[in-house]
């Protein structure tokens, strides 16, 4: 029974985590064993995930599943109490498996486990979502589901694996949207439960009118592969059709080089060959879901890449280590061009408008085309002696007149341009992509930049890979990019628009927003000459279309409306080759059938969120929601925007004169390094690139952010996409940027130095890097930085302006070298003892930087014993909910895997063996506070190349040692990165205050506010991290009172954050919840199942008990939500 888990997971072998803290384990044991029969739900499952569209389009999500195996194992381990054994708790071998198992178990334990001993798990393997109002209430059904081994899905996440949807009613939109789902009536569950067996769901198909199921299991795997987000989502919900495979799990998710398996991957069809699995015959989880599980996700390395990368010469010539890699990459990167052009066009428009405003001309007579020519490759603005017509930014002319906005957009721009030179291909399915002809064959991962409308009729979309496109349309024709032409035609396009515009907002090379209010009113005067007598705006649009057609040979479509949002929507209706005037009165009708992501500004993620939190993505349905509801679900800004958009409201003005705020350079393609020398060299090359860009616009910056993409441990070394970055964890750090004299800079050396320093501070294995980005912010004009005061010396009064901020400076700090910032080594009471934690400083916990912020260089240079202790401490924290993070800095700092927090840094650095180390015995951290006499200003530390943050975490003696050594080293010469301690650049910025170094104060101690044995008395989660104790006293202290909402909230928040913080946090959280559960059962077990509804008339004790239970469920629900989301992401990185 227990076998599966062990064998496959080789669980105990894990040496990532040694035995846990005995005390904690003991508590855990108590918490779990008490009668908590664990009925492990098998279910394999899933975990929703949120992946970005761009990732989804990664070819092969094909995923050869292997889900089956896991599921099977889990199934077999169902009754194995061992899975909870403390002995296992601290082990992380195959933690992914375990994690999933735990999640399920958690569900079972907390939900089912309660009271019920063992129920027949007839729903195991089912993942059910309940839609809308149902007759047995959602709560009841949920109980039912969980009690019988099923998984209750609170959200219909496009990523989550939902095998069935239970409903009593469906909107037309949903019927359509879910036509491939298994929509069943509630009585299916009820009857099955009553019968003690799973009745075929087909007997309970929900039929609103007629269909509902139709193609139920008839989907081919391909249908799951669409890169189109919406399609993907739908397919995601469909997952059941494919029987699970019994293929072996590719590799251990956490193994560093895991996953380079499944070479067959590329073909979705092949992956479809699953062998039915007994256990889940009815509802296999889909491989699509499996694809979202880290361990299986996108582990389908690109076969070609794998082969070719094995050749050192090839690597040297084609990856990021190639000397001219950056140049070559940018020369071919369509997205780079797109971004560049956009910036140029914005600049061009802005200057053209300035000309007009200053100058006297009223008509735009210039020709942007000329500018382009003379300006060589650049859209030189100089010649933009142009002027547009009435051009005074439509803003002030805010006459009560209703605006007329046109959204002009070329039809399949790249293709249209390409067809100019390939007229014979007109009318055929054509796409623009790098891969030409037969190259790449049917397995090209080359992206389709643009597809003709004929191609689109096959389902092809921009951004899709060629191989996917070929599957949809074998006879697809490809034509090459013609970047120069795009730019030229774009200039003609803009030139034309200029003649009619009051204002223009450059949206992209093929798209612009134009305000034509005055032009239209002018036209309206002579209705006779209009193409559309009744619609001058439309007439103008057609005129513009003609002019553009004339000037470029390509079609543009124009959407007209009174605001931006509507104009864009109108364009949808206008395409291809047409114009459409969307009037306010038609808004409801036009918008109702659209989905939220059809609105500009709302994409994949928001749609998903809407689906989860609002149960609808359709605008017609969302229109019924209150503004507050929308804001609550999508955030204030998005909520309001949506609310208004649905009503046809959008007050935004065209933007054509906003100054640039940042300049950056990102490369997340082809990044493959072997060593630090290469990555360092690359960083410096990128720095040069950024420098060039800054100089090109005559700017300098004072802030630098480095963004890193690092291969996710669960991802294959070679991504599915050729030379792509694959699934990654992302990191970013910001620092003050300055030249030696402390001024804003654009010097490549300065930028390179800072960037490298940041990169080095993480200590990543260069082989794992997959993407690098350098961004420069707080821009100043070069001239300004030359004359301006160095560090923008702090003035007595704050510069009210935006960019000239001085925030980093603090009082005294007017040093010419801004990076050297002094900081009073913080507080006194150096001897603060952990046991004296007072209200203000309750926790004795040392203020360690979050793991991700630790400078690896320094870390590695530490004496073995010290380093070990640090590791232990981090390890400890990572496992102790109450200690983990929470602290000073970067609680937020999270690793993300395509949008999902993963933070498994701790795991990465986890000690290979940690023999029961009790936190209490940790001499290094127990109370290592910085004695006052040891104060060395941060500035000095920095001068010594010591990172204050790390320094602060060191024991005093070591600090002293380090300082001495550093001073010593300073005098002599030392090696670059090899020195004992290297300042982590991150420090140079404002952060010093972020974490008052020396003080071991636990910033924002995790405490239950207002809590204690006595109401009002505070109770803290102490350093030992035995949360159990805290909870116990909390519960004990309130046996006569209901818990305070504030405490519940706090506790909830804490757990949630913890779950989000790292992998081990989940484990701990589960343990904590279990403990809480046990305590509650002890006190009020009887009321566990009581519903609040029947609460009236109850005794005091009972109401208190109910209140506690209510809180418990409340917290659990929150944790569940987060866990689901997080694990989904983590496990399902596609």
Ligand X SMILES: Nc1ccn([C@H]2C[C@H](O)[C@@H](COP(=O)(O)OP(=O)(O)OP(=O)(O)O)O2)c(=O)n1
Partner DNA sequence: ATCCTCCCCTAC
Partner DNA sequence: TAAGGTAGGGGAGGAT
- Do residues 450 and 486 touch, judged by C-beta distance below 8 A? no
Q: Which does 575 bind (CB under 5 to 8 A by kind): Mg ion, ligand X, DNA, none?
A: ligand X
**By CB under 6 A, residue 481 contacts ligand X:** no
Within positions 606 to 635, which residues make up the interface with DNA, using CB under 7 A? 606-607, 635
Residue among 199, 243, 261 nearest 718 (CA): 261
Within positions 317 to 336, which residues make up the interface with ligand X, using CB under 6 A? 334
Report the nearest approach of ligand X to the CB of residue 575 (Å): 5
**By CB under 7 A, residue 4 contacts DNA:** no
Report the nearest approach of ligand X to the CB of residue 555 (Å): 9
Using DSSP, state whether 204 is helix, strand or coil: helix
**By CB under 7 A, residue 893 contacts DNA:** yes
Q: Which does 14 bind (CB under 5 to 8 A by kind): DNA, Mg ion, ligand X, none?
A: none
CA–CA gap between residue 477 and residue 433 (Å, rounded): 10
**By CB under 7 A, residue 733 contacts DNA:** yes
Stretch that binds DNA, among 376-384, 653-661, 1036-1044, 1063-1071 (CB under 7 A): 653-661
Q: Which does 791 bind (CB under 5 to 8 A by kind): DNA, ligand X, Mg ion, none?
A: none
Residue among 50, 58, 49, 226 nearest 668 (CA): 58
Report the nearest approach of DNA to the CB of residue 891 (Å): 4
Within positions 402 to 431, which residues make up the interface with ligand X, using CB under 6 A? 409-414
Which residue's CB is nearer to DNA, number 5 or number 642? 642
**By CB under 7 A, residue 162 contacts DNA:** no
Report the nearest approach of DNA to the CB of residue 795 (Å): 14
Count each helix (H run) and each strand (E run) in the chain, helices first: 43, 20
The single-letter DSSP state of residue 182 is -
CA–CA gap between residue 866 and residue 761 (Å, rounded): 18
Report the nearest approach of DNA to the CB of residue 714 (Å): 14
**By CB under 7 A, residue 258 contacts DNA:** no
Report the nearest approach of DNA to the CB of residue 216 (Å): 30
**By CB under 6 A, residue 485 contacts ligand X:** no
Structure tokens at 327: 């140049």
Which residue's CB is nearer to ligand X, number 19 or number 576? 576
**By CB under 7 A, residue 705 contacts DNA:** yes
**224 φ/ψ angles, rounded to the nearest 5 degrees:** -90, -10
Which residue's CB is nearer to DNA, number 676 or number 689? 689
Which residue's CB is nearer to DNA, number 193 or number 1066? 1066
Using DSSP, state whether 342 is helix, strand or coil: helix
| Half-sphere exposure in the Cβ direction for 162 (13 Å, CA) | 28
Which residue's CB is nearer to Mg ion, number 460 or number 882? 460
**By CB under 6 A, residue 274 contacts ligand X:** no
CA–CA gap between residue 251 and residue 261 (Å, rounded): 8
Report the nearest approach of Mg ion to the CB of residue 573 (Å): 14
Q: Which does 757 bind (CB under 5 to 8 A by kind): Mg ion, ligand X, DNA, none?
A: none
Q: How many CB atoms lie within 10 A of CB 632?
A: 14
Structure tokens at 246: 């019994």
Residue among 1131, 1034, 332, 382 nearest 670 (CA): 332
Which residue's CB is nearer to DNA, number 88 or number 898? 898
CA–CA gap between residue 9 and residue 865 (Å, rounded): 31
Report the nearest approach of DNA to the CB of residue 100 (Å): 21
Among 154, 256, 276, 463, binds ligand X (CB under 6 A): 463
Among 36, 283, 650, 890, binds DNA (CB under 7 A): 890
Residue among 65, 69, 72, 442 nearest 224 (CA): 65
Which residue's CB is nearer to Mg ion, number 412 or number 717? 412
Contacts of 100 (CB under 8 A, 6+ apart): 44, 45, 47, 70, 74, 293, 1127, 1131
CA–CA gap between residue 828 and residue 575 (Å, rounded): 69
**By CB under 7 A, residue 150 contacts DNA:** no
**By CB under 6 A, residue 511 contacts ligand X:** yes
Q: How many chain residues touch Mg ion (CB under 5 A)?
A: 4
Cross-strand bridge partners of residue 667: 772
Which residue's CB is nearer to ligand X, number 69 or number 599? 599
Which residue's CB is nearer to DNA, number 142 or number 292? 292
Stretch that binds DNA, among 7-15, 90-98, 278-286, 604-612 (CB under 7 A): 604-612
The single-letter DSSP state of residue 1050 is H
Contacts of 1043 (CB under 8 A, 6+ apart): 1034, 1107, 1108, 1111
Within positions 353 to 392, which residues make up the interface with ligand X, using CB under 6 A? none
**By CB under 6 A, residue 600 contacts ligand X:** no
The single-letter DSSP state of residue 261 is B
DSSP string, 881-927: TTTSS-SSS-SS---EETTEE---HHHHH--S------GGG-HHHHS
**By CB under 7 A, residue 888 contacts DNA:** yes
Within positions 413 to 432, which residues make up the interface with Mg ion, using CB under 5 A? 413
**By CB under 6 A, residue 344 contacts ligand X:** no
Pairing of strands 127-131, 151-153: parallel
CA–CA gap between residue 166 and residue 312 (Å, rounded): 55
Q: Which does 293 bind (CB under 5 to 8 A by kind): Mg ion, DNA, ligand X, none?
A: none
- Do residues 195 and 227 touch, judged by C-beta distance below 8 A? no
Distance of CA 855 to the CA centre of its chain: 24
Using DSSP, state whether 364 is helix, strand or coil: coil
**By CB under 7 A, residue 669 contacts DNA:** yes
Report the nearest approach of DNA to the CB of residue 980 (Å): 23
**491 φ/ψ angles, rounded to the nearest 5 degrees:** -65, -40
Within positions 533 to 592, which residues make up the interface with ligand X, using CB under 6 A? 575
Helix 325-332 crosses helix 334-358 at what angle (to 10 degrees)?
70
Report the nearest approach of Mg ion to the CB of residue 463 (Å): 13
Q: Which does 339 bind (CB under 5 to 8 A by kind): Mg ion, DNA, ligand X, none?
A: DNA
Which residue's CB is nearer to Mg ion, number 410 or number 1020? 410
Pairing of strands 556-561, 579-581: parallel
Report the nearest approach of Mg ion to the CB of residue 450 (Å): 8
Q: Which does 414 bind (CB under 5 to 8 A by kind): Mg ion, DNA, ligand X, none?
A: ligand X
**What b/e readout covers 1040-1075, taking b as 16+ CB neighbours within 10 angstroms?**
eebbbeebbbbbbebbbbbbbbbbbbbbbbbbbbbb
What string marks each residue from 297 to 326 as x (binds DNA by CB under 7 A) or -? -------x---x-----x---x--------
Contacts of 656 (CB under 8 A, 6+ apart): 346, 349, 350, 353, 393, 503, 504, 505, 506
Among 225, 723, 872, 1104, binds DNA (CB under 7 A): 723
Q: Which does 120 bind (CB under 5 to 8 A by kind): DNA, ligand X, Mg ion, none?
A: none
Distance of CA 1100 to the CA centre of its chain: 46
Q: Which does 705 bind (CB under 5 to 8 A by kind): Mg ion, DNA, ligand X, none?
A: DNA
Among 3, 332, 402, 549, binds DNA (CB under 7 A): 332
**By CB under 7 A, residue 661 contacts DNA:** yes
CA–CA gap between residue 797 and residue 156 (Å, rounded): 53
Among 94, 213, 233, 409, binds Mg ion (CB under 5 A): 409
Among 510, 612, 747, 813, binds Mg ion (CB under 5 A): 510
**By CB under 7 A, residue 36 contacts DNA:** no
Structure tokens at 528: 């006779």
Distance of CA 59 to the CA centre of its chain: 20
Binding residues (CB under 5 A) for Mg ion: these are 409-410, 413, 510
Binding residues (CB under 6 A) for ligand X: these are 334, 338, 409-414, 449-450, 462-463, 510-511, 575
């Amino acid at each position: 029974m227990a076998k599966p888990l062990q064998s496959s997971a080789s669980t105990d072998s894990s040496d990532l985590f040694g035995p846990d803290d005995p005390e904690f384990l003991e508590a855990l044991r108590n918490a779990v064993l008490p009668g908590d029969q664990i009925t492990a739900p098998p279910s394999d499952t899933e975990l929703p995930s949120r992946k970005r569209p761009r990732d989804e389009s990664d070819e092969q999500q094909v995923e050869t599943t292997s889900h089956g195996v896991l599921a099977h194992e889990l199934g077999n381990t169902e009754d194995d109490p061992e899975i909870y054994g403390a002995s296992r708790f601290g082990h992380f071998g195959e933690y992914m498996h375990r994690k999933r198992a735990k999640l399920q178990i958690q569900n079972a334990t907390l939900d089912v486990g309660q009271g019920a001993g063992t129920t027949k798990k007839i729903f195991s393997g089912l993942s059910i979502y309940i839609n809308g109002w149902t007759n047995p209430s959602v709560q009841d059904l949920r109980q039912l589901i969980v009690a019988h081994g099923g998984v209750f899905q609170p959200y219909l996440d496009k990523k989550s694996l939902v095998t069935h949807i239970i409903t009593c009613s469906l909107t037309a939109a949903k019927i359509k949207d879910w036509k491939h789902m298994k929509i069943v009536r509630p009585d299916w569950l009820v009857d099955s439960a009553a019968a003690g067996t799973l009745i075929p769901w087909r007997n309970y198909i929900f039929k609103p009118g007629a269909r509902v199921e139709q193609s139920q299991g008839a989907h081919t795997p391909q249908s799951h592969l669409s890169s189109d987000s919406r399609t993907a989502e739908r397919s995601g919900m469909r997952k059941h059709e494919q029987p699970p495979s019994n293929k072996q799990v590719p590799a251990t998710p956490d193994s560093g080089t895991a996953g380079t398996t499944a070479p067959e991957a590329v073909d979705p069809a092949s992956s479809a060959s699953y062998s039915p699995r007994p256990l889940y015959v009815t509802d296999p989880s889909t491989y699509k879901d499996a694809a979202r599980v880290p361990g299986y996700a996108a582990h389908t390395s690109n076969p070609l890449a794998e082969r070719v990368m094995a050749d050192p010469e090839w690597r040297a010539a084609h990856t990021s280590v190639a000397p001219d890699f950056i140049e070559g990459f940018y020369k071919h990167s369509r997205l780079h061009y797109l971004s560049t052009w956009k910036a140029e066009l914005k600049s061009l428009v802005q200057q053209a408008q300035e000309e007009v405003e200053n100058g006297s001309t009223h008509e735009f007579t210039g020709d942007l085309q000329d500018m382009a020519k003379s300006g060589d490759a650049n859209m030189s603005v100089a010649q933009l002696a142009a002027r547009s017509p009435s051009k005074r930014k439509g803003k002030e002319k805010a006459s009560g007149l209703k605006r007329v906005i046109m959204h002009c957009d070329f039809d399949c721009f790249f293709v249209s341009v390409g067809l100019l030179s390939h007229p014979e291909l007109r009318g055929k399915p054509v796409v623009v992509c790098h891969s030409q002809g037969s190259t790449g064959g049917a397995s090209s991962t080359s992206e389709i930049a643009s597809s003709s409308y004929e191609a689109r009729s096959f389902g092809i979309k921009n951004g899709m890979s060629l191989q996917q496109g070929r599957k949809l349309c074998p006879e697809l024709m490809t034509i090459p990019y013609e970047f120069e032409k795009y730019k030229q035609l774009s200039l003609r396009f803009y030139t034309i628009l200029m003649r009619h515009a009051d204002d223009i907002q450059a949206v992209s090379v093929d798209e612009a927003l134009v305000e034509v209010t005055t032009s239209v009113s002018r036209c309206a005067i002579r209705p006779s000459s209009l193409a559309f007598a009744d619609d001058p705006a439309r007439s103008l649009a057609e005129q513009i279309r003609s002019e553009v057609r004339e000037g470029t040979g390509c079609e543009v479509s124009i959407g007209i409306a009174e605001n931006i949002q509507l104009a864009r929507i109108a364009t949808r209706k206008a395409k291809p080759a047409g114009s459409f005037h969307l009037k306010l009165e038609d808004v409801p009708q036009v918008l109702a059938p659209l989905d939220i992501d059809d609105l500009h500004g709302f994409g994949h993620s928001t749609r998903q969120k809407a689906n989860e939190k609002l149960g609808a993505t359709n605008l017609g349905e969302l229109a019924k929601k209150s503004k507050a509801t929308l804001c609550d679900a999508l955030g204030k800004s998005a909520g309001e925007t949506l609310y208004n958009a649905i009503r046809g409201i959008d007050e935004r003005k065209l933007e054509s004169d906003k100054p640039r705020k940042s300049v950056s350079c990102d490369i997340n393609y082809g990044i493959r390094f072997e060593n630090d020398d290469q990555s360092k060299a690359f960083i410096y090359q990128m720095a040069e690139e950024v420098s060039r860009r800054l100089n090109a616009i005559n700017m300098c910056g004072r802030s630098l952010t480095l963004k890193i993409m690092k291969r996710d441990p669960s991802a294959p070394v070679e991504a599915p996409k050729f030379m792509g970055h694959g699934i990654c964890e992302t990191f970013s750090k910001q620092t003050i940027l300055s030249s030696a004299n402390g001024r804003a800079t654009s010097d490549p050396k300065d930028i390179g130095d800072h960037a490298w320093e940041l990169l080095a501070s993480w200590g990543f294995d260069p082989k794992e890097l997959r993407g690098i980005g350098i961004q420069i912010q707080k821009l100043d004009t070069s001239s300004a930085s030359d004359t301006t005061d160095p560090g923008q010396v702090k003035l007595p009064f704050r510069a009210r302006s935006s960019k000239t901020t001085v925030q980093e400076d603090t009082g005294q700090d007017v040093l010419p070298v801004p990076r050297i910032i002094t900081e009073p080594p913080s507080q006194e009471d150096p001897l603060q003892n952990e046991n004296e934690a007072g209200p203000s400083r309750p926790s004795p916990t040392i203020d360690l930087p979050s793991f991700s912020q630790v400078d690896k260089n320094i870390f590695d240079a530490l004496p073995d014993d010290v380093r070990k202790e640090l590791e232990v401490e981090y390890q400890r924290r990572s496992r102790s909910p109450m200690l983990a993070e929470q602290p000073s800095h970067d609680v937020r700092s999270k690793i993300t895997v395509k949008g999902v927090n993963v933070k498994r840094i701790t795991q990465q650095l986890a000690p290979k063996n940690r023999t029961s180390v009790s936190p209490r015995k940790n001499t290094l951290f127990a109370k290592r506070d910085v004695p006052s006499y040891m104060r060395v200003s941060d500035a000095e530390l920095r001068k010594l190349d010591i990172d204050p943050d790390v320094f602060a975490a060191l024991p005093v003696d070591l600090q002293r040692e380090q300082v001495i050594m550093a001073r010593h080293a300073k005098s002599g010469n030392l090696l670059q990165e090899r020195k004992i301690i290297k300042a982590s650049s991150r420090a140079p910025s404002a952060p010093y205050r972020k974490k008052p170094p020396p003080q071991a104060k636990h910033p924002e101690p995790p405490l239950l506010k207002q809590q204690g044995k006595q109401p009002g008395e505070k109770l803290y989660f102490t350093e030992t991290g035995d949360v159990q104790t805290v909870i116990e006293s909390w519960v004990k202290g309130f046996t006569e009172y209901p818990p305070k909402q504030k405490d519940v909230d706090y506790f909830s928040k804490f757990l949630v954050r913890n779950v989000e913080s790292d992998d081990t946090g989940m484990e701990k959280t589960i343990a904590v919840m279990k403990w809480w559960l046990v305590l509650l059962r002890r006190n009020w077990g009887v009321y566990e199942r009581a519903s609040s509804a029947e609460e009236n008339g109850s005794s005091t004790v009972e109401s208190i008990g109910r209140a506690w239970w209510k809180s418990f469920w409340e917290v659990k629900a929150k944790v569940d939500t987060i866990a689901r989301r997080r694990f989904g992401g983590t496990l399902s990185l596609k």
